[in-house]
Amino acid sequence: MERERWVWTRGRVLTVCAVLTAGLTAFHGVVPNRPGRVGSLLESFLPWLGLAVVPLFVLAVLRRSAVALLALLLPTAAWTHLFGGLLLPGAPSGPRALVVVQHNVSDENTDPAGTARALAGAGPDLIALQELVPGALPVYERVLAPEYPHHAVRGTVGLWSRHPLTGTRLVDIRPEGVPEPWSRGLRAVVRTPHGDVAAYVAHLPSIRVGAGGLASARRDESAGLLGGAVAAERLERVILLGDLNGTVDDRGLEPLTSRLGVARRGFALSFPASLPVARIDQVMARSATVDHLRALPATGSDHLPVAARITLR
């Protein structure tokens, strides 16, 4: 009897840690964003919070704490509810499916031709690129032209398509105080066999983590401008492809995630390419479903490309 009481009364600190981990996972939205945008910082790496369960489990076993082991069911359930579906395989492609590739090719990429061939090798219908620099742009145009005869470029972002493009225009997502020239958004209508789709390609400003926390004010402002453009889009079906410099859990991207659906399957961590810890390259859609997202092999960029299968409604 004494042994049973000892097992159930040990591990109170571990139990508190398990409950806190579950609370941060399930209710991350209540974490304040000031000072230092700590809420966005937590949400940028939210899936990794699940790793806290591993050392807590080991310590609970070593301590033979039954209450701590039971408490660990809470963060496990919270993580599974939020992210478990991403681990499941995607559904088979339907007749109204499009395959798209999103890639920040890097303005320091020394092999644009190899990068273009690798992206085309995935067989997508659409390819969205960011950080297109004048010296590399002709290379992408030449290599992609045989399979992607339709393309549009505005500033440093571009879209290549198997299907005709119309209505191409710049989307102004430049934050206040950023000097010109700064063109990182475009919109084009893709004439797919299943009807017209408004495709947006964007590259939001970078964020930095420093002593003061997460510096994301310009990224957030740019996301708001892009969200406004999507909200005003008259075509019902919309696809957004971009380096958004944020994860879909980050509240800074709420102007977009509140209006567009995100991937149902696949983590597709994309940055940094050498050891990916977050997916900041995104594919979102309206009146369409992003069925599955996967990371492609590394190119000459510091990002990994991501490929998505989208089912049009």
Q: At 161, give phi and psi (nearest 5°).
A: -145, 145
Q: Which residues of the chain have pLDDT under 70?
A: 1-6, 93
Domain boundaries of the chain, sorted by first residue: 2-87, 97-312
pTM exceeds 0.75, yes or no: yes
**3-state SS, residue 160:** strand
What pLDDT is recorded for position 296?
98
**Closest residue by Cα to residue 232 from 291, 169, 280:** 169
What pLDDT is recorded for position 210?
77
Burial 138-166 (b: 16+ CB within 10 A, else e): ebbbebbeeebebbbbbbbbbbbbbbebe
What pLDDT is recorded for position 5?
53
What pLDDT is recorded for position 180?
82
- DSSP state at residue 271: B
Superfamily, domain 97-312? Endonuclease/exonuclease/phosphatase (3.60.10.10)
What strands lie across the sheet with 150-154, from one edge to the other? 150-154, 157-161, 126-130, 97-104, 306-312, 288-295
Helix axis angle, 112-121 to 137-144, nearest 10° = 40
**Closest residue by Cα to residue 294 from 312, 270, 272, 275:** 270
For 171-211, what is each residue's pLDDT tens digit?
999 999 998 889 999 999 999 999 999 999 999 999 988 77
Amino acid at 113: A
